[in-house]
Structure 1
Amino acid sequence: MIRDFAITAALASCLLLTGCAGGGATVQTSSATYGQQLIDLKAALDKGIISQGEYDDARKAILDKMED
C-alpha cells in the first residue's frame, strides 16, 4: 500500500512538472523601460546585429506602444 502511494505520488509529480513546461505558448514579460528598449535597439543596430530597416520598424513599434 505504501509502495503504491509512493509510485502514485512520483507519477503525479512528474505529470505536474511536465505540465508546467510542456510545449504550450509562453508569455514573456519585459521589465525594461521604453527608453532602455530604444537604447538596446540602437546598440543592436550599431553592432550590426539588425539592419536599418529592422531598427526602423522596431523603433516605430516601441514608440507606438509609448503612445498607448
Structure 2
Amino acid sequence: MEYTTWYEFKKECEKRLGHSLLNSTWLKVKPIDHLPWDEADAETVISTIANLRAAAQHAEMEAVERR
C-alpha cells in the first residue's frame, strides 16, 4: 500500500502498534523521504519505536539497579 498523506500513514502505524503516537515520538521516527510512503516505511517506523521502547526500558532497569 502507498500512503500519500502523513496523517493516513501515522494512523496506520498507530493501528498496528495498538496505541497513539505522541508528537515527540512521531517526530523522531517519521520517514525522512518525501511522500508517498509505503509498507517498508511503516515497518521501519514500527521497528524504530520498538527499539526506542527497549532502550528506554533498559535505561530504566539500569537506573533501578544503581539505587
* TM-score category (smaller protein): 0.3 to 0.5
Q: Which has the higher contact order (CA 8 A, sep 6+)?
A: 2
TM-score by length of 2: 0.34
TM-score by length of 1: 0.33
